[in-house]
Chain A
Amino acid sequence: MIDPKIDFRTKGVVMQKRRGSLKFIVSVATVSLLGLAHSASADTLRLLTWGGYAPENVVTLFEEETGNTVEVTKSNNEEMIAKLRATGGGGFDLVQPSQDRIAGPQAEFGIYKPIDLSKIDAAQFIPSMLEATKGNTTVDGEIYGVPHVWGTSGLVLDTTKAADVKDYTDLCNADVAGKVSYRLKRPTLIGFAFAMGMDPFAAYGDEAAYTDIMNKVEAKLIECKPNVKTYWGGGDELLNLVRSGEVVAAMAWDTGGWKLNADNPDITFVAPSSGALGWIDTFALPAKGKADDAAYAWINFVMQPKIAAMITEAAGNFTASKGADEFVSADLKARYQASFPPEAVDNIKWYPPVPAGLEAIEGGVLDRVKAAN
């Protein structure tokens, strides 16, 4: 996978059907012969996730160990929720939306079911991250998500040509005019709000205050529009823009910057001075999932440090697995440390859950920015 955050435009919805039937028969036979049937029911796990979160080598290991079969469907936050909403939470057994996208849709559409924490090996998780996610995904006292992969979005810069860009608002500077790109999506609104010295997260609960912030951001983005070459849509599109030199400063995910850094040392991911925006992708159970045991088995399996490191290699992002870092390649760690000095890590702004209704405010802003001339 080129980029774990493949956007809808790249249509990364590829079905990977893995039917290791022979393997399946052999393993079931072995397990029953030995009388060690810890998981006598071999299921098919229908996993709706991001590209890179279920690499083939991990799937194979899981299938060999448990006898379950895994069907992987790649998607993104919006499509995951749209799919679950269309079926009332059916069609998949395990999904991986970002932690801020669980509470709102659950309250509105009821598409998830609570997680039975007793079936999860909590010791494998980084405790602070587990607690934060539990807190953010609680609806009516029930917990709906546990963390898996986390990362940030910030600035991807060609440091030789855009040395002065320190924060999102610097993308509007004249010296990078015409060579700037960002997405026309909510992370951009949030990032600009922080860079303009406001705190949108604090205003999440106050619709009027949030509208006010968004109006200021809208004015800024419209003012900034002539600077923008294009609003990028897919991860590949952005990589191409930066790699070809057509864009020298962009708002993007950390992994994209690190990937480009591997090809061209001048390009890298920089945490903006107002703070990178941190996201955590979770595990959540769809309301009508049919293979909960297999889903829990998958969660516990991929959170093992060695397996989690394999996912980090594939996706480019780190996981919430405790102790997985030491299995990650030195290259990746070096890039991570270069982009995130300790103070930058402390400055990460983690997305709180999105209250229902905010999308409408943001949507209006995004529409007007797009239409502005």
Chain B
Amino acid sequence: MTPDLQCIDLTKRFGDTTAVSDVSFSVPPGSFFSILGPSGCGKTTIMRMIAGFLAPTSGDILIKGKSVLDVAPNRRPVNMVFQHLALFPMMNVADNIGYGLRRAGLPKRDITRKVGEVLERIGLPEIGRRRVDELSGGQKQRVAIARCMVLEPDLLLLDEPLGALDLKLRERMKIELKALQADFDTTFVYITHDQSEALVMSDQIAVMNQGRFEQMGTARDLYYRPETPFVAGFVGDSNRWSGRIERSDGGVLELRTEIGLLIRGTAQGRALGGGQSADIFVRPEAIRLSRKETELTSLDNHLKGHVTSLLFNAAASRVLVRDEGSAGEIEVALPQSGEFDDLAKGDVVHIGWSGEQANCFAAGAE
């Protein structure tokens, strides 16, 4: 099947700086594709090139198999939901949604019908006559999407549209956006710096850093099997140590950190030999916490320490544990099963994790 969007060796330079460097990817029809990266990584540049507001320095963009490089933005079968939505404040909701249809020269009757239908679909059938500034944040969001979807584009681009919303609404809109995408059955390309938005909604995620794609895959791929130290650090939380490989034996490694901690880990098939400098990543939620040492003896790594800090944040709560031997501090997820409700600062605890969960990368691979 022809992908809805295909970028081939896409490169964009502004003067001496390369904003996007040799990026290639394709997005299959009907999928939700996200580009995740820190601000300034070049993701907005890619989006603007797809929309047609920027011309690539080299490379090609194909939509439904056809190159669109020579197509002006107002003729591309692509629509975009802007960061601050960019609704037209001088028009009411119906006129906002009808704008593209009017420009396409549809008869008035059809416009009214289509606008009514799309308002129905986003669950706001009564707001056509309202002014844009009378809408709530969530309503504006849906109107902005409806304004694009009414044109039935091949591809909908979304540029961090949830950024301006408050936390609760953002959580709800994530679910709603995913539902809308499924409902309209249109390909969404979504860019964000917020990993949770990308992880929750996307079928495919590309993690982008300094103009390049670090890794492309499903949310689980990125989380469980990061291929680069950047991805390991950027997607989800991680404890991170630098050190030197002491022993390498059939994928099982032993790494001595700079502060003297010995950690067993895995290179996931990456070539790493003894004596090499390396970074090792361990997710806080992969570390088991226990009051009894015996519970953890089966794990590859286990050590004893005391609690230096409790960072309570409901389901995302953390405990900082100081290792007795090396005095290094390790971030550990606090299980919310009731077992550790009375954990206090200074308590002695045991922690441990399997070597499978300790991901090792050659130093400087970033």
Asked if chains A and B are in direct contact (CB within 8 A), the reply is no
Tell me the A residues contacting B by CB distance below 8 Å.
none
Tell me the B residues contacting A by CB distance below 8 Å.
none
